[in-house]
Amino acid sequence: MNAAPGPDGPAEGLSFKREMLSNLPNLRAFAVSLIGSPDRADDLVQDAIMKAWGKQESFTPGTNMKAWLFTILRNEFYSQMRKKGREVQDSDGYFAERLSVHPAQYGSLDMRDFRRALEQLPDDQREALILIGASGFAYEEAAEICGCKTGTVKSRVNRARQRLQEILSVSGAADYGPDPEVGQVSDTAFVV
Amino acid sequence: MPLNPPQKTTGSARPSAQKTDDVNAQISSKLHQLYETVREEEIPDRFLDLLEKLDEAEKASGRETSK
Give this complex's ipTM. Answer: 0.72
Q: Is residue A171 a part of any domain in this protein?
A: yes
**Pair A115, A164 in one domain:** yes
Q: Is residue A189 a part of any domain in this protein?
A: no
Which of A40, A68, A87 is a domain's end point? A87
Q: List CB contacts (< 8 A) between A26 and chain B.
A: 39
Quickly state the pLDDT bin for B23 (edges 50, 70, 90): confident
pLDDT at residue B10 is higher than 80: no
Rounded CA-CA distance A24/B48 in Å is 10
Provide the CB-side half-sphere exposure for A60 (13 A, CA). 4
pTM to 2 decimals? 0.73
**Pair A106, A137 in one domain:** yes
Q: List CB contacts (< 8 A) between B36 and chain A.
A: 29, 134
**Pair A73, A135 in one domain:** no
**Pair A68, A134 in one domain:** no
> Do the Cβ atoms of B36 and A29 come within 8 Å?
yes
Q: Is residue A188 a part of any domain in this protein?
A: no
**Pair A127, A63 in one domain:** no
Rounded CA-CA distance B37/B19 in Å is 27
* Cross-chain CB nearest to A134 (options B10, B13, B32): B32
Mean pLDDT of chain B: 78
**Pair A36, A117 in one domain:** no
Rounded CA-CA distance A91/A57 in Å is 37
> Do the Cβ atoms of A33 and B35 come within 8 Å?
yes
pLDDT in tens, chain A (192 residues): 444 444 444 445 558 999 999 999 999 999 999 998 899 999 999 999 999 999 999 999 889 999 999 999 999 999 998 888 654 443 333 333 334 344 444 445 788 889 999 999 999 999 999 999 999 999 999 999 999 999 999 999 999 999 999 998 764 444 344 444 444 444 444 444
pLDDT higher for B36 or A188? Answer: B36
Q: How far is CA A170 from CA A95, A183, B16, B40, in A?
A: 14, 8, 12, 32
What's the per-residue H, E or C state across A87-130? CCCCHHHHHCCCCCCCHHHHCCCCHHHHHHHHHHCCHHHHHHHH
Which of A62, A87, A112 is a domain's end point? A87
- Chain B interface, best mutation among A23, A30, A47, A109, by max B CB count within 10 A: A109
Residue A134 belongs to what domain range?
Answer: 88-182
Q: What is the CATH number of the domain that holds A102?
A: 1.10.10.10
Quickly state the pLDDT bin for B49 (edges 50, 70, 90): very high
Q: Please answer whether residues A56 and A72 qualify as being in contact, where contact means their C-beta atoms are separated by less than 8 angstroms.
A: no
Q: What is the CATH number of the domain that holds A33?
A: 1.10.1740.10
Coil vs helix vs strand at A134: coil
Q: Is residue A15 a part of any domain in this protein?
A: yes
pLDDT at residue B26 is higher than 70: yes
Rounded CA-CA distance B65/A121 in Å is 48
**Pair A97, A176 in one domain:** yes
DSSP string, chain B: --PPPGGG--GGG---HHHHHHHHHHHHHHHHHHHHHHHTSPPPHHHHHHHHHHHHHHHHHHHHHT-
- For chain A, how long is the longest CA-to-CA vector? 76
**Pair A117, A49 in one domain:** no
**Pair A22, A104 in one domain:** no
> Do the Cβ atoms of B14 and A26 come within 8 Å?
no
pLDDT attached to residue A122: 96
The amino acid present at A25, given as its one-letter code, is: P
Q: How far is A84 from chain B (nearest CA, A)?
A: 24
pLDDT attached to residue A29: 97
Nearest chain A alpha carbon to B59: A13
Total number of domains in chain A? 2
* Cross-chain CB nearest to A25 (options B31, B32, B43): B43
Q: Is residue A4 a part of any domain in this protein?
A: yes
Which of A53, A68, A87 is a domain's end point? A87
